């Protein structure tokens, strides 16, 4: 991972970003922070169907996790933003999330002597639009998950996976299932958008909201599968409650939709195979990542 030239990583900046990540004053009613929806125990996703915002508002999508977000090039369900800094500002001002103009957030930070001291030390400046985003992005770039049983297996420890997980890995990589066609590489995402036929009547057009192209209706960015064991419920609308539900959905090949991806094809699994595939997915859980105190709320 390489941080932007203009925003190199420093420990002081990371520490400031962590404090801002858990700062509720950045929301309009001072009740939520970035960490309110991106909870560490859920791999910086959430266990709510939809994101919950300030003034008890409810969003329209399930919260995406921040696992290895520093390595990604595309952000949000539409895949419409291409830098972590730009992606960071959106939820701060979005109506159904923190719902606060950046100027108000800056005014609140400037009124806090502790923050003034920290920003002076890190940036030799008062809080401003740019350095707030730089600090927040720097902390998020440290949210690296690479210590799962699967990682140890890849590095040569054959005992890191049990027999069921090893069989599940074979299934995952098989042409019959095609999981690796989208959940590819070490990040388990190709960072492309697809309509998987989740729901014909769902009003969320996904990437189509951005491009206004009917071919993109219902297309969403491939999420990582790392730590998926702890990120339920699943899909952009939080409609699937368990990994078994997700697998059974994919077995159907998805519902008909005029924009459904041609990669979506039905397949059959027996109960043993389904259990093996879930065992493999569970091997992507990085316990050290979701318990590491260096990512936890410092307040």
- C-beta separation of 183 from 225 below 8 A: yes
Digits of tens for pLDDT over the chain (299 positions)?
668 888 999 999 999 999 999 999 999 999 999 999 999 999 999 999 998 888 888 888 999 999 999 999 999 999 999 999 999 998 898 888 899 999 999 999 999 999 999 999 999 999 999 999 999 999 999 999 999 999 999 999 999 999 999 999 999 999 999 999 999 999 999 999 999 999 766 678 999 999 999 999 999 999 999 999 999 999 999 999 999 999 999 999 999 999 999 999 999 999 999 999 999 999 999 999 999 999 998 87
Which pLDDT score, from 0 to 100, does residue 88 have?
A: 93
CB atoms within 10 A of CB 181: 15
Architecture of domain 11-144: Orthogonal Bundle (1.10)
Place of tokens 């093996």: 276
Which pLDDT score, from 0 to 100, does residue 201 have?
A: 63
Residues of the chain with CATH 1.10.760.10: 11-144, 149-288
Helix (H) or strand (E) run with residue 21 in it:
helix 11-21
* 84-93 helix and 102-110 helix, angle to the nearest 10 degrees: 90
For 20, phi then psi, to 5°, come to: -65, -35
Which pLDDT score, from 0 to 100, does residue 240 have?
A: 96
Please write the tens of the pLDDT for every residue from 275-287: 999 999 999 999 9
Residue 229 DSSP class: G
Which pLDDT score, from 0 to 100, does residue 202 have?
A: 63
Q: What is the pTM (predicted TM-score) of this model?
A: 0.94
Q: What is the spatial distance between Cα 241 and Cα 202, in angstroms, rounded to a whole number?
A: 17
- C-beta separation of 89 from 102 below 8 A: yes
- In sequence order, what DSSP letters do the residues of 122-169 get, joined into one string? HHSS---HHHHHHHHHHHHHT-----SHHHHHHTT-GGGS-HHHHHHH
Let me know if domain 149-288 sits in CATH 1.10.760.10: yes
Nearest Cα to Cα of residue 64 among 96, 38, 95: 38
């Amino acid at each position: 991972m390489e941080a932007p030239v203009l925003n190199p990583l420093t420990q002081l900046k990371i520490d400031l970003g962590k404090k801002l990540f858990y700062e509720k004053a950045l929301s309009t009613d001072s009740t939520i922070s970035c960490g309110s929806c991106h909870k560490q125990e859920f791999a910086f996703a959430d266990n709510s169907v939809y994101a919950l915002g300030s003034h008890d508002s409810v969003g329209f999508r399930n919260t995406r996790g921040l696992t290895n977000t520093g390595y990604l090039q595309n952000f949000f369900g539409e895949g419409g933003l291409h830098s972590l800094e730009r992606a960071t500002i959106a939820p701060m001002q979005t109506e159904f999330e923190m719902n606060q103009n950046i100027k108000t957030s800056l005014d609140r930070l400037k009124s806090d002597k502790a923050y003034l001291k920290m920003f002076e030390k890190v940036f030799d400046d008062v809080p401003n639009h740019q350095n707030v985003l730089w600090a927040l992005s720097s902390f998020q770039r440290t949210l690296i998950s690479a210590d799962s049983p699967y990682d140890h297996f890849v590095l040569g420890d054959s005992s890191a996976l049990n027999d069921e997980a090893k069989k599940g890995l074979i299934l995952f990589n098989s042409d019959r299932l095609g999981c690796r066609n989208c959940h590819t590489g070490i990040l388990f995402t190709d960072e492309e958008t697809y309509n998987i036929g989740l729901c014909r009547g769902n009003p969320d057009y996904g990437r189509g909201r951005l491009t206004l192209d009917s071919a993109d209706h219902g297309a969403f960015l491939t999420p990582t599968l790392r730590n998926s064991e702890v990120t339920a419920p699943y899909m952009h609308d939080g409609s699937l409650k368990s990994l078994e539900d997700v697998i059974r959905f994919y077995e159907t090949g998805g519902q008909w939709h005029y924009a459904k991806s041609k990669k979506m094809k039905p397949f059959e699994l027996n109960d043993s195979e389904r259990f093996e595939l879930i065992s493999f997915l569970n091997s992507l859980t990085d316990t050290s990542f979701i318990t590491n105190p260096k990512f936890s709320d410092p307040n």
